Structure 1
Amino acid sequence: MSNLVIRKVAVLGAGVMGAQIAAHLVNAKVPVMLFDLADKEGSKNAIVDKALAGLKKLSPAPLGNAAHGAYIEAANYETDLSKLAECDLVIEAIAERMDWKHDLYAKVSPHLAPHAIFVSNTSGLSITELSNGFSDELKKRFCGVHFFNPPRYMHLVELIPTATTDAETLDKLESFATSTLGKGVVRAKDTPNFIANRVGVFSILAVIAEAEKYGLSFDVVDDLTGSKLGRAKSATFRTADVVGLDTMAHVIKTMEDNLKDDPFAAQYTTPAVLKALVEKGALGQKSGAGFYKKEGKEIKVLNPATGEYVTGGAKADELVARILKRPATERFKLLRETDHPQAQFLWAIFRDVFHYIALHLESIADNARDVDFAIRWGFGWNEGPFETWQSAGWKQIADWVSEDIAAGKALSNAPLPAWVSEVGGVHTPAGSYAPAQKSYTPRSSLPVYARQAFPAALVGENAADPKTAGVTVEENDSIRLWHQNDGVLIASFKTKMNTIGPDVLDGLQRAVSIAEKDFSGLVIWQPASLTGGPFSAGADLQAAMPLFMQGGAKAVEPFVKKFQDTAMCLKYAQVPVVAALAGLALGGGVETAIHCAHRVAHLETYMGLVELGVGLVPAGGGLKEAALRASRDGGAYGFSNLTEFVKPWFQNVAMAKVSKSALEAREMGYLTASDTVVFNVHELLHVAKNTAKSLADAGYRPPLAGVAITAAGPSVQATLQSIIANMRDGRFISAYDGELATRVANILAGGGVEAGTVIDEEWLLKLEREHFIDALGKPKTQERIMGMLSTGKPVRN
């Protein structure tokens, strides 16, 4: 397969999805033009300009760095169509109207480059029908690509070919979406609403129908169908509010109009409660009311009987909550047999979905794997529906579903298809079941997937567990040192939130020693990153408490010194040490990473020195590195006054600011311009290991020790003190925050020595320790630490 070279992309349509797709392309450094109609008054690009301005106001933020919105080029259909010839990929993302899309295609298709791939981002319209009127050549380069909202954060992208789409074009698009954009790609058949919306929306319809049958309120249903089932916390009705009730109604209408012969056709009607909300403009979160409504600080829930909003917050019955904690086989037996409306409701919604996916697997997807990944990645379920069925006992569940169908309890009287009784499950080490082939289909062999050492796994595949895979060199309860027979040692933490205590520090020092002797490099990587877990939440305060209780603040100093020594060990290791970052990297997690030779960070990496929030001062070498870099950068530009180089570090630490992406972490200084940002978390380990190998191949040598650091001096500290006063007077920080910030300022300025005084790393590390221990001895710091340990929330005192 030849390379897909994407020099520029055009996105047609500056609505919610189009603008956010453009934003995510820019996140990935893909140049993009965003098109919309020419404004009739003023600037021709006013519509696009307004959409781009709106990107900065959205939460969660579509842009990894808000300033990068400037790289999206505004364009319009009246004056800029000729620019489409510059684009290698054109993504249409206008409203879900077949006639509007066809009108736009007629306008833009003459301007497309002969090689350009043309795709429609639609949530359910027929891709084949959309391609009607295209030349045979353009039909080869056309397909559907369905991003989920919000495009930056939702992992799923559905790729929908027509019968005439070129196979190599599909492979190239899948590789681009997987690696460059960081997505999980599922290939769907060209059927209404494809896979995720087809199954996911049916699941919501089943929930609504069964909730009404069993007399359950929306808030109780959401408590039952959210995290208790391993699904998104927003559950069912909150999710509908977030997506938009008009959008949901549109997807249901697509099913109603196009699936009249479906065994579940009777369910494809907009529920009365949903229809009533849409008709009165209560469209969910975007309109301020839907199934829920916020009044002041209170979240109220709709009472469908009266149409009024009432106090919400009702929870699942404790009996049912306990059942949901049981192993899968026992759990389903209890749900089915327990005479409780909430238990019966849960069995019913599972049964309905099992019934549905069995009947429709062959028509909507190539295999069961694509259905499970579509629902996991598109709707936030921890397990796909086929996985749940298989975990609970394939044959037993099939028998129960069949019994309910025969008894008239199901939402359709169509029997389970014959293939269900012919298999013992749909996922095996050989692949996932494909009814059309009556065989198990293996994973894709596209080269891009060779970059994933641990791809997303399915129940039944018996895939390698990243916590135990490879060859273990050393392991204890806190850290594992291991490798994959490729010359790179990997250190993975095993503590809660990957916090760093004495055993982790010892393990990291051992890792350096072992790597220097037997490996070409060392990578610090956490298996939890594959499922959204942290790189490290910082130093393990709990581990330091026994020391404090026995000997007071001074007794903690050896632990702090060990942390600093470990950071320096990583920095001056004779082999390259690479931090593979994803998720939260806070406090000591940041300090560990910034001492490494290189950092490879997933886009969704959130970094910050947040110690002031628990009443402490960063003391793992983070402020030392900040002062060193300020001295180096100021010197490079010939500045003797280092204020502007120190101030950004100080403000980030004083405000305990955490980056909202790896791109922002780079702007804050926690990542450098040469550090690598990857978009697919499953590629993180691969890239980190190859980075370590490349550094080693280039003859890596650590920095020279004893570097001279120019102290910023008292005048810079005075400037920082004025910032503290302003933040305190503006009530951005408390008085005690100001005291802690003063300590930070003192360290960054060099500890009171005159400006220009040459100091070294040991001097700054000593300052860190002194301020850390002194702050630890203060009652207000102790209140903050105890509050954090007991509640997990910062105390403002």
Structure 2
Amino acid sequence: MNRFQVRKVAVLGAGVMGAQIAAHLVNVRVPVVLFDLPENKAPTLPASRGSLPPEGAGSALGRPGGGTGAKNGIVTRAIEGLKKLKPSPLGVADDAVLIQQANYEEHMDVLKECDLVIEAIAERMDWKLDLYRKIAPFLAPHAIVASNTSGLSITKLSEALPEEIKPRFCGIHFFNPPRYMYLVELINAPTTEPQILDDLETFVTSGLGKGVVRAHDTPNFIANRVGIAGMLATLKEVDNFGLTFDVVDDLTGKKLGRASSGTFRTADVVGLDTMAHVIETLQNNLNEQSDPFYASFGTPEVLKALLELGNLGQKTKAGFYKKVGRDVLRFDLASKDYVPAGAKADEVYARMLKKPAGERLKLLRNSEGAQGKFLWAILRNSFHYAAVHLATIAETARDVDQAMRWGFGMQQGPFELWQEAGWLEVAKMVQEDIDAGKALSRAPLPDWVFNGPVPEAGGVHTAAGSWSASAQKFIARRALPVYARQHFPEKLRGESLPDFRAAGKTLHEDAAIRLWTLDDEVVIASIKTKMHAISPDVAEGLSLAVDLAEKDYQGVVIWSGDEPFSVGADLQAMLPGFMVGGVAAIDEVEHELQRIMLKLRYANVPVVSALRGMALGGGCELAVYSARRVAHMESYIGLVEVGVGLVPGAGGLTYIARQAAENAATSTGKDLLPFLTEGFTAAAMAKVGTSALESRKLGYLLDSDLIVPNKDELLFVALNEAKAMALAGYRAPPRRQFPVAGRSGKATIQGQLVNMRDGGFISQHDFYIASLIAGVVTGGDVDAGTLVTEEYLMTLERRAFGALLAHPKTQERIMGMLSTGKPVRN
């Protein structure tokens, strides 16, 4: 069987989405060429929906792969613009150079090298069709061609393609920003070969790290169809109940189990022009017959007003909200000006929203207050709309719920919440409101809601699969081979997928940690503490994991099922010991943590840390003392103890010193200090890698470590890495002494710190902490080049840790962090 391989991707259109899709391809190490118009040609084809980066943003010649770079100005400026965006579309800004540049005049032959071509120009049917006619003669005979459209008809787009290309054409809808948004919708045309969609889904899932939903070819597909309809419905209910944007965002954010940005802050982030475009697509492609909610799709007056003012949201620094200095203002339609924001929802509704789902919905429906009535109205509208349109927009209810989770940041999709609250009870409440004229449409709920398999099963998600309204049956998840790499995929309420908390065979379990195995070959250590903090009990469990593995298994994988990997040592667990026994008690705890780290490093079996999310402080130390790291792309790794007035105490500084010596050993130079500088700076400034790629540059990941795009494949890759290392005859590294920079190295660093202190860049306490760090990583009061052991440096670490723990200013920082969660500057 031939395996579809993506050796190079072409992205057509260097606008907002095209450039960021190219950036994400670079992040996951897929070669990419970014096309746009030649610089000297009048723009008959725009780069993409949205404005181009400003003229002059970059002047370097492009790297077209055959031709001059002078005509690549549009692409060059787009790539330079990527470096300035926040949050960054690139894992490492310097990797922007890996995007190959091209234009449609000089480099069309480059398309022949591409296995996947993603078109991402403006949302204009005529422009897209014109481009397809131009590129068709240059496409490789096996290449998949996909349009990154947010709602245009894939069927109509396919009609411009030659017959031989139509079977390889489909829609691919990335959500913005492509690096961070998990959802990708795939949409087939009637002529698309099923194998093409399977191949593309495999690549997008494993290669790009995304969650794929297959949508029918209907306006705005699934997520934007349901999501934008929900936003329009929310705006109507805001008017009905007289609420302000800030109160609505407080109600529709985390309290409701949705994205913390709520409704209107989310709209500002997406862009009000983008929102208007999606609304326009609904208006132009639907009518009262095809969508009974069509009357609700008029462009809201407040959106019209903001568009007329040019206030497009975050990109123009004004939308529904505007920040002036430290003050956040909200738009007031009556005055068409901004007024103070910050109003919060009534606390009674926050308490209601914490109740079990069934009780919660009944309380909201029976509420006397405007805020409660508003919440019930938007939830009722979401249930109503999703049920009425399920048969036409998606194969199953699973696709709708996953699309809303992954595309709109909801903890639960509409069908999940409905099912949890009691299927028939909620259905009756919704239908009663429809009959009473309270809903947005008089269209009744479909018959399948009240009769047949769904009410009998108690909802749309079951062990057999999720409900397909078009097929009138439950359909199981797609069984593509790529999904065998996901031992514990994200599941919906009602599904019977395995739960990692009870899966496999338990070898040991207590309140802090579970040791278990899936295959009787590798021990999995899953930390159970809050934020996976490392307590003494966790340390003891990790030690036991090594003992068990050395006796009966091939290795250990540290994987805790969800984010974060670990936020570090459990300070609260240490405080009682400090209060009773003082610094000596903490020294004993730190010494034990250090022994555990060394036990992991020198175990007779490979220890693999599977990282996802934050790996901070002790979590970072746990990772760097493992034999190998397998990290999800979105892993944020660093030694951050300075934030609470401490230094790394479980071996982090020792690691920095040892790594500097090892790196220096590969160089012809004799001076250790250049190899030490980056590690010292990272620890002293509490620098955290903002991606696994950046963490590798900081030295917390090595070139031999693996970076995994898909979060749900992390355990699979880590287990296989541990087994491969064992099969290759893994041996722990030899215990050996290594040279340190000594007192002269410390003096050099200290001189720079004095300048920073005297210049007002750091406080006196920061200076003191950084000086202690410098003393440890340079080896203390010894000559340059002195050979030391890890145990020797760890002793210096503990002394520095203890000295700081007894310091009043550090105690202020610790108590401030524990009480507010924010660092104290003193």
AA partner of residue 82 (structure 2): L
Number of the residue aligned with 1:556:
586
Q: Distance in 2 between matches of 1:299 and 1:445?
A: 48
- What's the counterpart of residue 299 of structure 1? 328
- Counterparts of 1:257 and 1:234, CA distance in 2: 29
Q: Is the 8 A contact 2:305 2:336 kept in 1?
A: no
**2:190 aligned with 1:192, yes or no?**
no
Which residue of structure 1 aligns with residue 470 of structure 2? 436
Distance 1:553 1:476 in 2: 28
CA distance in 2 between counterparts of 1:633 and 1:683 reads: 31
C-alpha distance in 1 between matches for 2:312 and 2:520:
54
Which amino acid in the other structure matches residue 797 of structure 2?
E
Matched, 1:147 2:177: no
Match in the other structure for 1:276? 305
1:694 counterpart residue number: 724
Residue 581 of structure 1 corresponds to 611
- Contact 2:817 / 2:823 at 8 angstroms: preserved in 1? yes
Aligned to 1:164: 191
* Residue of structure 1 aligned with 2:341, choices 306, 312, 333: 312
Question: Which amino acid counterpart does residue 98 of structure 2 have in structure 1?
Answer: Y
Which residue does the alignment assign to 1:31? 31
| Match of residue 46 from structure 2 | none
The alignment status of 1:747 with 2:781, answered yes or no, reads no
**Residue matched to 1:416:** 445
* Structure 1 counterpart of 2:160: 133
Equivalent position amino acid for 1:379 in 2: F
| One-letter identity of the residue aligned with 2:721 | T
- Structure 1 residues 761-770 or 177-186, which shifts more? 761-770
> After superposition, where does 1:560-709 map in structure 2 within 5 Å?
560-705=590-735, 707-709=736-738
**Paired letter, 2:193:** D
Q: What CA distance in whole angstroms lies between the structure 1 residues aligned with 2:625 and 2:423?
A: 50
Q: Secondary structure at the match of 1:527?
A: coil
SS in 1 for 2:797: helix
Q: 3-state DSSP class of the match of 1:159?
A: strand
The code of the aligned residue for 2:362 comes to: K
- Structure 2 residue aligned with 1:513, among 547, 550, 553? 547
Q: Deviation at 1:322?
A: 1.2
Mapped partners of 1:728, 1:450: distance in 2: 55
8 Å Cα contact 2:512/2:537 also seen in 1: yes
Equivalent residue number for residue 20 of structure 1: 20
For 1:513 and 1:338, the matched residues in 2 are separated by 58
Counterpart Cα distance in 2 of 1:725 and 1:174: 56
8 Å CA contact 2:391–2:468 kept in 1: the answer is yes
Report the residue type matching 1:291 in the other structure.
F
| Alpha-carbon separation, structure 2, partners of 1:302 and 1:78 | 45
**Match of residue 256 from structure 1:** 283
The residue aligned with 2:248 is: 221
Report which stretch shifted further, 478-487 or 449-458.
Answer: 478-487
Distance 2:758 2:82 in 1: 32
Determine helix, strand or coil for the equivalent of 2:557: strand
Which amino acid counterpart does residue 112 of structure 2 have in structure 1? A
Which secondary structure does the structure 2 equivalent of 1:629 belong to? helix
Distance 2:642 2:240 in 1: 52
* Distance (whole Å) between structure 2 residues aligned to residue 791 and residue 320 of structure 1: 24
CA separation in 2, counterparts of 1:661 and 1:2?
Answer: 34
Structure 1 residue 381, shift from structure 2 partner: 0.2
Q: What amino acid maps onto 2:545 in structure 1?
A: A
Shift of 1:632: 1.6
Correspondence 1:409-488 to 2 at 5 A: 409-422=438-451, 423-424=454-455, 425-488=459-522
Say which of 763, 767, 770 aligns to 2:796: 767
Q: Deviations over 1:256-296 (max 9, x none)?
A: 11111211111121111111211221111111211111112
What TM-score, normalized by structure 1, do the two folds share?
Answer: 0.98
1:313 aligns to what SS in structure 2?
coil
Q: Which amino acid aligns with 1:554?
A: A
Q: Which of residues 90, 93, 101 is equivalent to 1:66?
A: 93
Cα 1:729–1:75 shift into 2, 3 Å: farther
Partner Cα separation in structure 2 for residue 723 and residue 616 of structure 1: 20
Q: Matches of 2:597 and 2:815 in 1, distance apart?
A: 26
CA distance in 1, matches of 2:704, 2:642: 29
Secondary structure of the corresponding residue to residue 768 of structure 1: helix
Q: What CA distance in whole angstroms lies between the structure 2 residues aligned with 1:160 and 1:725?
A: 61
Displacement of 1:299: 0.6
Secondary structure of the 2:613 match is strand
Q: In the superposition, relative to structure 1, how do residues 35 and 727 fare at CA in structure 2: closer, same or farther (>3 Å)?
A: farther
Deviation by residue 1:534-589 (Cα, 9 ceiling, x = unmatched) = 11111111111111111222221000100100001111111111000000001111
| Residues in 2 aligned to 1:324 and 1:613: alpha-carbon distance in whole angstroms | 34
Give the partner amino acid of 2:231. Answer: I
Segment of structure 1 superposing worse, 619-628 or 190-199: 619-628
**1:469 CA drift (Å):** 2.0
C-alpha distance in 2 between matches for 1:193 and 1:722? 60
1:723 is matched with 752
What does the per-residue CA deviation read over 1:199-250, in whole Å, with 9 as the maximum and x for residues that have no partner? 0000001100111111111111111111111100111111111111111111
Residue 54 of structure 1 aligns with which residue? 81
1:639 CA drift (Å): 2.5
For the residue of structure 2 that corresponds to 1:283, the secondary structure is coil
User: Any idea what SS the aligned residue of 1:246 has?
Assistant: helix
- Counting aligned pairs with the same residue, the percent is 59
Cα RMSD, aligned residues only? 1.2
Change (3 A) 1:177 1:732: farther
Contact 2:521 2:553 in 1 (8 A): yes
Q: CA deviation at 1:305?
A: 2.3
Alpha-carbon distance between aligned partners in 1 of 2:348 and 2:795, rounded to the nearest angstrom: 56
Q: For residue 136 of structure 1, give the secondary structure of its aligned residue in structure 2.
A: coil
| C-alpha separation in 2, matches of 1:775 and 1:223 | 40
Equivalent residue for 1:738? 767
1:788 to 804, 811, 817: 817
Q: For structure 1, which segment, 642-651 or 287-296, has the greater mean C-alpha deviation from structure 2 after superposition?
A: 287-296
Displacement, 1:298? 0.6
Task: State the distance in 1 between where 2:86 and 2:501 align.
Answer: 34
Letter in 2 for 1:733: I
SS at match of 1:124: coil
Between the aligned partners of 1:312 and 1:504, the Cα distance in structure 2 is 44
- Which of 236, 257, 267 is equivalent to 2:263? 236
**Equivalent position of 1:500 in the other structure:** 534
Tell me which amino acid in the other structure corresponds to 2:332.
Answer: N
Aligned to 2:561: 527
Unaligned runs of 5+ in 2: 42-58, 60-69
Q: Kindly indicate whether the alpha-carbon contact (under 8 Å) linking 2:136 and 2:162 is maintained by their aligned counterparts in 1.
A: no
| Unmatched 5+ stretches in structure 1 | none
Secondary structure of 2:701 counterpart: coil
1:690 Cα deviation from its structure 2 partner: 0.6
Name 1:209's counterpart in structure 2. Answer: 236
**SS of residue paired to 2:35:** strand
CA gap 1:730/1:54 in 2 versus in 1, 3 angstroms: farther
> Which 10-residue stretch deviates more, 774-783 or 184-193?
774-783
Which shows bigger deviation, 154-163 or 757-766? 757-766
Q: Which amino acid aligns with 1:314?
A: A
**For the structure 1 residues 194 and 13, does the alpha-carbon distance in structure 2 shift closer, same or farther, using more than 3 Å as the test?**
same
Match of 1:101 among 118, 128, 136: 128
**CA deviation map 1:384-420 (0-9, x unaligned):** 1110110111101111111111111111111111111
**Post-superposition offset of 1:730:** 4.5
Q: Residue by residue, what CA displacement relative to the aligned partner does 1:732-753 show, whole Å, maximum 9, x if unpaired?
A: 4222111111111111111121
Q: Which of residues 384, 402, 415 is equivalent to 1:355?
A: 384
Deviation at 1:731, TM superposition (A): 3.6
